[in-house]
Amino acid sequence: MAVDMNMNVLIVDDYKTMLRIIRNLLRQLGFENVDEATDGTQALEKLKENNGEFGLVISDWNMEPMTGIELLRHVRADDKLKHIPFIMVTAESKSENVIAAKEAGVSNYIVKPFNADTLKSKMVSVLGDF
Amino acid sequence: MAGRKSKTATVNKPKASQKTTAPSAAKRGANPPTVAPPANRKRVQAISAADVDVYAELERLSAYIDAARREIALIHPEDVKEEYVPGATDQLDAVVEATADATNAIMDCCDEIHDVMGDVSPSVGTKLTNVTTRIYEACTFQDITGQRIGKVVSALKNIEARVDALVLAFGDETVKPQKTAGARKSAKNKKTTDADLLEGPQLSEKAKNQAEIDDLLASFD
């Protein structure tokens, strides 16, 4: 199935600069409909408001008050949201983190710093070719 | 009368004197001094023997604590708390802010390049896209350095908290060296050296802007 290039992508990071970088990289990859949140709580509100209409969540881990992994657990526990692919993009690179994220239901995991090729390949593995 | 007086004087002598004078008195053939009954003497000797070790240990402990206090005072813990740690964290915050500003300025330029991509040939447009993508990728350094600096700031705050605990444990007055009037005068009269002038970049709120520098220079005319 072809990837819907018009789908809404929610990016979550407490660094505004990082949000801008990911937004620009997504634009380079052809995804223009990008929404932003600066922590897990705000992201969860946006996801619920839109009734799970997002096609992908790309989230940082280390944020306050709600972290990326807490957001992931909320998403996976919600019947209306649990289908949404979730990619963690974080500087946390310990095995324990990756295992914890996998156990929480992460779709893929990107370690910062990353490049556009890595972002694209992880998105392809989650969404299919585009 | 005189003998009785002498006897009373011997009894009232301190124990230490008694100990040193008794043998010489015996040698001289004088009357032996009055001493405590055997039961009392035994008890005094037992307490003294047990005390010696404890007393010596306590003295060593006291000397150790005094030395520790002096050493802690020498590192000026109040300077660590009031000057060094806040100064270092301010500088690190300024680094994060400056790199964020620079990163955003670089990305503003990329956005402008993106806006003109439609005006150039497809091959040039592709090249520009590749180049701006690489710039965006490189900009992720700001997030990583920000997080690393955040860790250093946490470590510094941890040190500050431990110094605080140390000051609390040893007492504020002990570790805070008292500045004498002489020391204050000497600090006031201290001549500024070339090394004193080198502080590196100032924090934005403390730094003078170019207009202020120009005004300062003009004030010499």
Q: How far is B134 from chain A (nearest CA, A)?
A: 8
Q: Which residues of B touch A13 (CB under 8 A)?
A: 143
Q: Which residues of A touch B136 (CB under 8 A)?
A: 21, 24-25, 28, 116
Residue found under tokens 């503003």: B108
pLDDT in tens, A6-43: 999 999 999 888 999 999 999 989 999 999 999 999 99
DSSP label at B118?
Answer: G
Q: What is the pLDDT of residue B21?
A: 40
pLDDT in tens, B160-169: 888 888 778 7
- Residue A58 pairs with which residues in a beta bridge? A11, A87
Task: Round to whole Å and give the CA distance between A112 and A106.
Answer: 16
Q: For residue A97, what are its two tokens?
A: 């983190």
Closest CB from A16, A24, A62 relative to B136: A24
Count of Cβ atoms closer than 10 Å to residue B137 Cβ: 19
pLDDT in tens, B148-161: 898 898 899 888 88
What secondary structure does DSSP assign to B58-111, as a single string?
Answer: HHHHHHHHHHHHHHHHHT-HHHIIIIIHHHHHHHHHHHHHHHHHHHHHHHHHHH
Report which secondary-structure segment, H or E, holds A35: strand A34-37
Minimal-distance CA residue of chain A relative to B135: A21
Count of Cβ atoms closer than 10 Å to residue A47 Cβ: 24
Compare A39 and B39 and report the one with higher pLDDT: A39
pLDDT value at A101 more than 50 = yes
Least confident range from A113-127, B24-38, B60-74: namely: B24-38
Rounded mean pLDDT, A88-94: 90
Q: What percent of chain B has pLDDT over 90?
A: 20
Q: Which residues of A touch B95 (CB under 8 A)?
A: none
Rounded mean pLDDT, B198-217: 77
**8 Å CB contact between A80 and A51:** yes
Q: Which residues of B touch A24 (CB under 8 A)?
A: 107, 110-111, 132, 136
pLDDT value at B27 more than 60 = no
Q: How far is B152 from chain A (nearest CA, A)?
A: 16
Compare B209 and A80 and report the one with higher pLDDT: A80
Q: What is the pLDDT of residue A92?
A: 87
Report residue B12's pLDDT band, with 50, 70 and 90 as the boundaries.
very low
pLDDT in tens, A40-77: 999 999 999 987 789 999 999 999 999 999 999 999 99
Q: What is the pLDDT of residue A22?
A: 95
Closest CB from B133, B143, B144 relative to A28: B133
Q: Do B143 and A18 touch (CB under 8 A)?
A: yes
Rounded mean pLDDT, B35-43: 56
pLDDT value at B174 more than 80 = no
Q: How does the average pLDDT of chain B come out, rounded?
A: 75
Q: By C-alpha distance, which of A25, A17, A19, A11 is closest to A115?
A: A25
pLDDT in tens, B86-143: 888 888 988 988 998 999 999 999 999 989 988 999 999 999 999 999 999 999 888 8
pLDDT value at A83 more than 70 = yes
pLDDT value at B51 more than 90 = no
Rounded mean pLDDT, B25-34: 46
Rounded to a whole number of angstroms, the CA Rg of chain B reads: 38
Q: How far is B80 from chain A (nearest CA, A)?
A: 29
Q: Do B144 and A25 touch (CB under 8 A)?
A: no
pLDDT value at A86 more than 70 = yes
Residues A130, A9, B105: CA angle, nearest 5 degrees: 100
- pTM of the predicted model, to two decimals? 0.65
Count of Cβ atoms closer than 10 Å to residue A110 Cβ: 17
Residues A41, A42, A46: CA angle, nearest 5 degrees: 120
Q: How far is A78 from chain B (nearest CA, A)?
A: 30
Q: Which residues of A touch B106 (CB under 8 A)?
A: none
Would you mind telling me the total number of residues written for chain A in this entry? Answer: 130
E strand segments, chain B: none
Task: Round to whole Å and give the CA distance between A90 and A64.
Answer: 14
Q: How far is B210 from chain A (nearest CA, A)?
A: 28
Per-residue HEC secondary structure of A4-19 comes to: CCCCEEEEECCCHHHH
**8 Å CB contact between B145 and B99:** yes
Q: Do B107 and A115 touch (CB under 8 A)?
A: no
